[in-house]
């Protein structure tokens, strides 16, 4: 039975999709069978891994138009494509009974086929994100150490409390990790320390430094390990993957 991990933050532009792709690739390199699911209507995960114009996507599968389809990305790594139409999911399915469990039902047949299922959640706490929380075992929250960073974090943690009470008692927060981190900047260091002090059991040891290669890799449809295996970004994500595996 696979472990389902959701990467989530109400705030956009925090490296959520980059982290989903590279942590997934890191797990695959370690020999685990991994499935990525793009739940963000911006479909950056799908396009960043080179899948353009996919015939089958997660939205159509959620509407039961066809079975869920995983496209191979590389050895041990598959991808369920996203779709811009996911932005209308709440309008289409909002009144349906058990609407919070549609994704859980969809992924259930795949859980015996892989070790990890990673969910790239949209930067909003709507029905799609609720579906992700309802089926996930663990959430990880990427965060930039900057002003107002805790606003989105606190909203996510509040939603987790409600989901645990009503929909998924087994849901846990695996941790918070800093992305685009530059230790030379005083504000970044001070904000990181404030968050570490406030959530000492949640903040992970390893951070993802701000590097050009992490931004370049998706434009060539590659993860950081294929694009720049000797880069700081590859080293940072390798360390983060190992930390996640030991939590």
Residues 6+ apart with CB under 8 A from 55: 69
Q: What is the DSSP string of 175-235?
A: EEEEESB-TTSHHHHHHHHHHHHHSTTTB-S---B--HHHHHGGGGT--HHHH-TTSHHHH
**Per-residue model confidence (pLDDT) at position 114:** 96
Domains of the chain: total: 1
Residue ranges making up the domain that contains 102? 3-245
Q: How far apart (Å, rounded) are the C-alpha atoms in residues 24 and 21?
A: 5
For position 113, what pLDDT does the model report?
94
105 in Cβ contact with 68 (< 8 Å): no
The whole model's pTM is what?
0.96
pLDDT of residue 185: 84
DSSP code of residue 125: -
- CATH number (domain holding residue 43): 3.40.50.300
Residue 136: its pLDDT value, please? 98
Is the distance from CB of 67 to CB of 61 less than 8 angstroms?
Answer: yes
Mean pLDDT of successive 10-residue segments in the chain (247 residues)? 94 92 98 98 97 96 97 97 96 93 97 96 95 98 83 90 97 96 84 91 95 96 98 98 96
Residue 116 and residue 27 in contact, taking contact as beta carbons nearer than 8 Å: yes
pLDDT value at residue 189: 87
3-state secondary structure of 209: strand
């Amino acid at each position: 039975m696979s472990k389902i991990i959701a990467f989530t933050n109400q705030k956009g532009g925090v490296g959520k999709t980059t982290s989903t792709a590279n942590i997934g690739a890191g797990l695959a390199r370690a020999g685990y069978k991994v499935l990525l699911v793009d739940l963000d209507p911006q479909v950056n995960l799908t396009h960043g891994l080179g899948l353009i114009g996919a015939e089958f996507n997660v939205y159509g599968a959620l509407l039961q138009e066809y079975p869920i389809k995983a496209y191979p990305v590389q050895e041990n790594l598959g991808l369920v494509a996203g779709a811009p139409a996911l932005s209308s999911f709440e309008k289409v399915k909002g009144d349906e009974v058990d609407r919070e469990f549609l994704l859980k039902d969809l992924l259930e047949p795949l859980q015996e086929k892989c070790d990890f299922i990673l969910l790239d959640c949209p930067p909003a706490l709507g029905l799609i994100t609720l579906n992700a929380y309802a089926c996930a075992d663990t959430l990880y929250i990427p965060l930039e150490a900057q002003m107002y960073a805790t606003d989105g974090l606190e909203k996510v943690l509040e939603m987790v409390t409600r989901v645990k009470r009503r929909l998924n008692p087994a849901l846990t927060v695996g941790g918070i990790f800093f992305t685009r981190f530059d230790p030379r900047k005083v504000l970044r260091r001070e904000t990181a320390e404030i968050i570490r002090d406030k959530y000492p059991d949640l903040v992970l040891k390893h951070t993802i430094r701000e590097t050009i290669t992490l931004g370049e890799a998706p434009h060539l449809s590659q993860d950081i390990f294929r694009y720049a295996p000797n880069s700081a970004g590859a080293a940072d994500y390798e360390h983060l993957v190992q930390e996640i595996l030991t939590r």
